[in-house]
Amino acid sequence: MLSMATCSSCWVLKQCLIVGFLFVIIISSIQPVNGCFTSIFSFGDSLTDTGNLLEISLLESNKLPPSAFPPNGRTFFHHPSGRRCDGRLVIDFLAEALGIPFLRPSYTTKVGRLQKFQKGMNFAVAGATALNSSFLQENGIHNRSTNISLGDELNSFKHLLPSLCSSSADCKKLLRNSLIVMGVIGGNDYNHAFREKNNEAARKFVPLVVHTIASAIHELIELGAVTFLVPGNFPIGCSPDLLTNYQGSNKDKYDPLTGCLTWLNQFSQHHNELLRTELEKLRNRHPDINIVYADYYNIAMRFYHSPKQFGFKETLKACCGIGGLYNYNSSRSCGYPPLKSSCNDPSSYISWDGIHYTEAANKWLANVVFEDLMKSTTCVPY
């Protein structure tokens, strides 16, 4: 039960209780569903990557990413799984809820395991950007993780699609019965600019990133896809990495209730507003297509406003990190020496490594997103 200290007035207390009740209903009532989608195909960056960057590193270089090392994976897989998390990502929880196996990384096909992909495939790559790397470099932004963009992921999908279906009609049927998860993508375009404190470039990228996402969706519609889940951006002003990067003494820049940087959260909201506008244009252009917007921003903000309600004790510190107010150091990524250990209880933290969420936070996000998806489709839980 929430105490009066949690909310500053009776009205706010009532609202907190209502939100808490709704979340209890969601978390307790969700059951796996059958027959909704035969497959899931996903695109994005490290928030969705289930091992592609690891596969790429094994194939093309000798340097393994942080996701290849413990304590990544400690909570659920009990070993590193190629995910930047202590356990499952939102995409994993969605697959479980839809009765579909965890999505295998698409780069696994390069070593001859294509038969494993009949239930879907994950094209997301940690570090991927929406805009292509040459454009970003021309604008002074350098991506040190990978040069893969959303366009590259989409090209990989189009290249592999004929291997999953025997004819054009068969491919259209496959896509008609599949869920396409478009993102999260675009965060790295902004974050690389923010880490270099090139705020002007980040702002300029927003309409370009949104247009790129919409164009990718349109291409997939042309191929036969009909159901899309499109996440918005997270409240990046609450992210330990950017809080560390912009740490200062000007209290006016921080939300007094959450400790998050207000202007960075406003940036996320700006991206999300443009994205929602673009998605509405796509819906009007393609009235038979189902595009579900996943409101990651407002779902996640509930964690920061009422952390105890969701079991969180630490909101702005990284569970796996080192040094400083936010337990984050950009030169010491979780998994690389000496960061081979993490906090005792990841489920009490929102942030896993300063950039990515813990499995506990991902589960809350996935539960709400799944509920919204069910409301927007003809799926019925069995």
DSSP letter at 76 equals T
Tell me which of 57, 67, 178, 356 is the catalytic residue: 356
Q: Which fold has domain 36-376?
A: Rossmann fold (3.40.50)
Rounded to an integer, what distance in angstroms lies between the CA atom of residue 340 and that of residue 68? 11
Residue 33 CA from chain centroid, whole number: 22
Could you confirm whether 149 is annotated as catalytic? no
Break the chain into its structural domains and give their ranges: 36-376
288: exposed, middle or buried (C-beta count within 10 Å: 0-12, 13-18, 19+)?
Answer: exposed
Could you confirm whether 353 is annotated as catalytic? yes
Tell me which of 42, 46, 67, 149 is the catalytic residue: 46
Tell me which of 45, 92, 189, 353 is the catalytic residue: 353
Rounded to an integer, what distance in angstroms lies between the CA atom of residue 143 and that of residue 145? 6
Could you confirm whether 46 is annotated as catalytic? yes
**Residue 48 C-beta-side C-alpha neighbours within 13 Å:** 33
Rounded to an integer, what distance in angstroms lies between the CA atom of residue 72 and that of residue 240? 18
Kindly give the pairing relationship between strand 39-43 and strand 120-122. Answer: parallel
C-alpha triplet 167, 223, 177: angle, nearest 5°: 75
The pLDDT of residue 81 is 96
The pLDDT of residue 39 is 95
For each of the chain's 382 residues, which pLDDT tens digit applies? 333 333 333 433 434 443 444 444 344 344 555 568 999 999 999 999 999 999 999 888 778 999 999 999 999 999 999 999 999 999 999 999 999 999 999 998 654 555 556 689 999 999 999 999 999 999 888 877 789 999 999 999 999 999 888 899 999 999 999 999 999 999 999 999 998 889 999 999 999 999 999 999 999 999 999 999 999 999 999 999 999 999 998 999 999 999 999 999 999 999 999 999 999 999 999 999 999 999 999 999 999 999 999 999 999 999 999 989 999 998 888 998 777 789 999 999 999 999 999 999 999 999 999 999 999 886 644 3
| Residue 23 vs residues 130, 132, 295, 303: alpha-carbon distances, Å | 32, 39, 15, 12
332: exposed, middle or buried (C-beta count within 10 Å: 0-12, 13-18, 19+)?
Answer: middle
The helix (run of H) or strand (run of E) holding residue 264 is helix 262-285
The pLDDT of residue 27 is 40
Plot region of 311 (φ>0 → left; ψ -120 to 50 → alpha; else → beta)? left
The pLDDT of residue 117 is 65
Whole-angstrom Cα Rg for the chain: 20
